[in-house]
Structure 1
């Protein structure tokens, strides 16, 4: 897994092996780690670092694109973790269509032809993009909600630990019917600089 980082503003207005019953673990590197091995894999990167191994720098106001791919058909969820600890839900949203990605398909957000762009915004610092891929659709009610007329959901927790805790509830096999081998995550990071 890679470390993650990203800060966006939308114009048009985020695995280590242990027993199968283990709970998701919080990690400084990747926000949340599935402790159960799975054959499902997902990869996320930003347009200035297609390899996803660096930490590219963007200036405030510059456009940014995020891409992801999965090795099996899966539902994909993208979150941006800002330097101040707040989180933005990138996908799903009401502008990008489906968040279901086919095996081997690369999806870019925003996609060519979408009627919006993502522009980097402040504050400056290290940002993280977290992708969760799941074989089954996740219930994000504990994590985010849409306000009337909004294209993007608002993430309810306002701190990174709060977000990680809420996300761990979403993928917890005790509270949700999501077997741990059915989801995985990846992260990428970037810096907002001058």
Structure 2
């Protein structure tokens, strides 16, 4: 990631980034494997591969060798067994591992995060509902792709946005509040990408109080609102703030959050309670992330120090 520097004032300077991943398709390289050689399992595996490939939801890798597949066992929290830890060491060149099996009349899908060595998704349904199971998984994968797009893509530097009052360093637990100014009329989306939370971004603006994110030229908005508590994480890290400027509202997304949450999360309709149909499985998800990829983005990094 290449760094430039933006001088915010005579006292504070923060790093401004232009990501080397800007413009790339925000999808993961996925190995799709079956855990048995039954006709039902092979058919389910091939169906999932076709769905991922035909809708560009991921880059499907070449099949793994038997020596690479190994053992995959996880506890209820998704943590791997000791033998599974050895299996992780056999893999390289992929981001995710999708495992398909059929057990006692049940179709089972497991999705493993290779980088963080953790089970991210596991669900099962009767064989007769295997397509519904695949649909549920694709909704989960859409969410992961959106998180990836928010974290790593954008059309380049958003010169029409300025940030003030964000410091280069914070102490763990210290309140964080800053100001965004737009030099053009824009819909503005501000995202926190935390280093210590698997890269899953949190939408800081708009939020449950500041739900109008259209900022006119010359206007300044404090983020978050003073009625919201936003603090640096409790552990040392390097977190990033990404601000997107869009001429159009991101209508294909839904804001979802509970009243007790500090911030809403940005999720696609597929994972916000909207009913999923067989037809929706064929919707090309690029339309979900296109507005993110095409929006100019500015990025600032700040370091969180231990107390």
TM-score, length basis structure 2: 0.40
Q: Aligned runs of 1:1-194 on 2, under 5 Å?
A: 24-25=23-24, 31-34=152-155, 41-48=160-167, 56-84=168-196, 85-111=199-225, 114-139=226-251, 141=253, 145-147=256-258, 150=261, 152-155=263-266, 169-172=287-290, 180=294, 183-194=295-306
Larger proportion of helix: 2
Q: Distance in 2 between matches of 1:133 and 1:2?
A: 20
Gaps of 5+ in 2: 5-16, 27-147, 269-284
Report the CA distance between 1:179 and its aligned residue: 10
Q: Distance in 2 between matches of 1:130 and 1:104?
A: 20
1:110–1:152: structure 2 CA closer, same or farther, 3 Å change rule?
closer
Q: Secondary structure at the match of 1:68?
A: strand
1:171–1:115: structure 2 CA closer, same or farther, 3 Å change rule?
same
Larger Rg: 2
Q: Distance in 2 between matches of 1:140 and 1:190?
A: 30
Report the CA distance between 1:57 and its aligned residue: 1.2
Provide the aligned length of Structure 1 versus Structure 2: 148
Gaps of 5+ in 1: 4-14, 17-22, 49-55, 158-166
Higher relative contact order (CA 8 A, sep 6+): 1
Q: Distance in 2 between matches of 1:24 and 1:44?
A: 23
Contact 1:42 1:184 in 2 (8 A): no
Alignment partner, residue 53 of structure 1: none
Report the CA distance between 1:184 and its aligned residue: 1.2
1:87–1:46: structure 2 CA closer, same or farther, 3 Å change rule?
farther
Contact 1:59 1:120 in 2 (8 A): yes
Alignment partner, residue 160 of structure 1: none
1:94-118 deviations in Å (ceiling 9; x for gaps):
112421111122212134xx32232
Root-mean-square deviation (CA, aligned residues, Å) is 3.7
Report the CA distance between 1:120 and its aligned residue: 1.2
